[in-house]
Amino acid sequence: MSVTVGIALERRAAGLVARVTIERPAKLNALDGATLEGIAAALAGLPAGARAVVLSGVGERAFAGGADVNELAALDERTARAFIGRVHHACAALRACPLPVIARVNGLCLGAGLELAAACDLRIAAAHAQFGMPEVRLGIPSVVEAALLPRLVGAGRARWLVLTGESIDAREALAWGLVERVAAPGALDAQVDAALDALLAAGDAALRAQKRLCKLWEEAPLEECVRASIDEFAAAYAGDEPRRLIGAFLAAKKKR
């Protein structure tokens, strides 16, 4: 079986970054079962020293052009359940990853590919990126982590995507809140690097706690979120990060 997911470790001044790449350029990085399993396995195998993850597709044409249509065409009721379970497992691995995950959207981001991007913490798109949920045009509904879309863009816009199957461009995706940044042509990696610098400037334990809370805020009632937030705040002081980073901040302020 060919390798369809690559992982490379990048040592930056502020910490180690894991770059996970979908590598099916001849298929527009379409997601078959093996690729979905590879994404989940890559996230499960991150080294202990990693501080952030970047998920991307190889090349400049596609982040992920949806589920592999040939695999979809061969499904029956039993195998369909297994396949969509793999989509969910890959998306759930992104959400469960203790590190912040950036989706580097370098082109087409469709169907299951958009679900992967939605499951990331931040999305930075190339100017030529396209976003869509075309499943209904293939006779199937958009499911599993498509349920994240109303949280990102609102119920009406999510319904537009999943009911019409139409795509939107990067500019509209930014206006809708589907992505956080759109890079000028040729500047995608610079935008991703800037986001990594911002993430890695934070305390590592604080960043992990913040990701846990962000996920909880999407899922739990307000009162539970507030209680958990208080617990996370108090737990931060069990380590040395607040003392160390607040001390550095005050020292720098005094010098100024």
Q: What is the CATH number of the domain that holds 88?
A: 3.90.226.10
pLDDT interval class at 256 (50, 70, 90): confident
Would you say 146 and 87 are in contact if contact means Cβ atoms under 8 Å apart? no
Would you say 131 and 106 are in contact if contact means Cβ atoms under 8 Å apart? no
Q: Is the dihedral of CA 106, 112, 114, 117 positive or negative?
A: negative
132 shares a domain with 235 = no
Q: In what order do the strands lie in the sheet with 167-169?
A: 62-64, 108-110, 130-132, 167-169
221 shares a domain with 116 = no
135 is catalytic: yes
105 shares a domain with 54 = yes
pLDDT at position 66, please?
A: 97
Mean pLDDT, residues 242-248 taken together: 96
pLDDT at position 3, please?
A: 78
Among the listed ranges 2-11, 128-137, 183-192, which one has the minimum average pLDDT value?
2-11
Structure tokens at 61: 């044409």
Exactly one of 71, 115, 223, 224 is catalytic; name it: 115
210 shares a domain with 114 = no
Provide the mean pLDDT of the chain: 97
- For residue range 154-166, what is the model confidence (pLDDT) as tens digits? 999 999 999 999 9
Q: Specify the number of domains making up the chain.
A: 2
Domain extent for 186? 5-200
210 shares a domain with 228 = yes
Domain boundary residue among 200, 218, 237?
A: 200
Domain boundary residue among 182, 200, 218?
A: 200
81 shares a domain with 196 = yes
114 shares a domain with 41 = yes
Alpha carbon distance 103, 20 (integer Å): 10
142 shares a domain with 217 = no
With pLDDT > 70 as the criterion, what percentage of the chain qualifies?
99
| 115 burial level (CB within 10 Å; 0-12, 13-18, 19+) | buried
Alpha carbon distance 188, 109 (integer Å): 15
Structure tokens at 62: 């596609």
pLDDT at position 198, please?
A: 97
232 shares a domain with 131 = no
224 shares a domain with 193 = no
Strand partners, 107: none
| This prediction's pTM | 0.96
241 is catalytic: no
- For residue range 22-66, what is the model confidence (pLDDT) as tens digits? 999 999 999 999 999 999 999 999 999 999 999 999 999 999 999
pLDDT interval class at 2 (50, 70, 90): low
- For residue range 122-136, what is the model confidence (pLDDT) as tens digits? 999 999 999 999 999
74 shares a domain with 31 = yes
Q: Which residues of 236-251 are buried (b: 16+ CB within 10 A; e: fewer)?
A: eeeeebeeeeeeeeee
Exactly one of 60, 71, 135, 224 is catalytic; name it: 135
Residues in the chain: 256
154 shares a domain with 229 = no
With a cut of 60, say whether residue 1 has pLDDT above it.
no
Domain boundary residue among 200, 223, 243?
A: 200
